[in-house]
Structure 1
Amino acid sequence: MANITDTARAFFDAVETGKGWAAASAHCTPDATFAAQAEPLTEIKSLQAYAEWMRGLLTFIPDGRYEVRSFATDAERSSVCAYAVFAGTHSADGGPCPPTGKSTRTDYVYVMEFAGGKIRHMTKIWNAGWAMRELGWM
């Protein structure tokens, strides 16, 4: 059985490369929840919906990529935190407006909480306004 660090890494990569829930679901409980205090994500309450949101984002930011800066496991609390930087350019149709040709480099953190070796809840910590301004969306 994989440990929670390995599970978190596999989940993180599946979501951040736009593979959606089909690839991410193996690492989560079926009813895994999601929370974020970020404008574009306020209505998203399930990890399934978030994984699909990321899949959609990468259709209009096709060069979207991540760089992990820190990955830490808190075994006592059964949680894993991943800090990364997402970078990409709005160069394809889709999203909140026509392609802007503008790019972003935006910091974010995933806090993944586990139960039975699978992710049961994830909180995303992200300054969405910063990224949206850089992309020319506001």
Structure 2
Amino acid sequence: MSIEQTAREFFEACETGGGWEACKGYCHDDAGFACQADALADVTTLAGYAEWMKGLLGPIPDGRYELTAFAVDQDRRTVVAAAVFHGAQTGAGGPVAPTGKTVASDYAYVIRFDGDRIAHMTKIWNDAHALRQLGWA
């Protein structure tokens, strides 16, 4: 499978809340994760991030993505995906009782490969803006 196809399938599995179980087949077991956002400060593995995304769909059960760009840099074995996350906090499990507020939050993934599997992913995201939209901050 090409890195493009692997990245697309990983993206879908991660963004729809499949958790690490649905994502691990596309990744090295020790795949790293980084994001300069307070909401994800303690998440350092892709397994941890996949589980965080799965958990996010509890308080935001209609959470979904709108893919806005997808590019492959074959020379650097990197894929970049940009999207907007949409949803409303109507479910339980968030930091506050359901607010009913909606979010439309831009983000990007920089997905680096080692061989045919994902070795590391960086998320570029303004968490403070997203949390304010939801009434969480």
- TM-score normalised per structure 2: 0.99
2:78 maps to 1:79: yes
Runs (5+) with no aligned partner, structure 2: none
Number of the residue aligned with 1:36: 35
2:10 maps to 1:11: yes
Take 1:5 and 1:97, find their aligned partners in 2: how far apart are those partners?
38
State, as a whole percentage, how many aligned pairs show the same letter.
53
Corresponding residue pairs, total: 137
RMSD over aligned Cα atoms: 0.5
2:92 maps to 1:93: yes
Number of the residue aligned with 2:109: 110
| Stretches (4+) displaced over 6 A | none
In the TM superposition, 1:16-31 aligns within 5 A as: 16-31=15-30
Runs (5+) with no aligned partner, structure 1: none
Deviations 1:79-125 (A, max 9, x none): 00000000000001102111111000000000000001100000000
Give the secondary-structure state (helix, strand or coil) at the position aligned to 1:60.
coil
Number of the residue aligned with 1:131: 130
- TM-score normalised per structure 1: 0.98
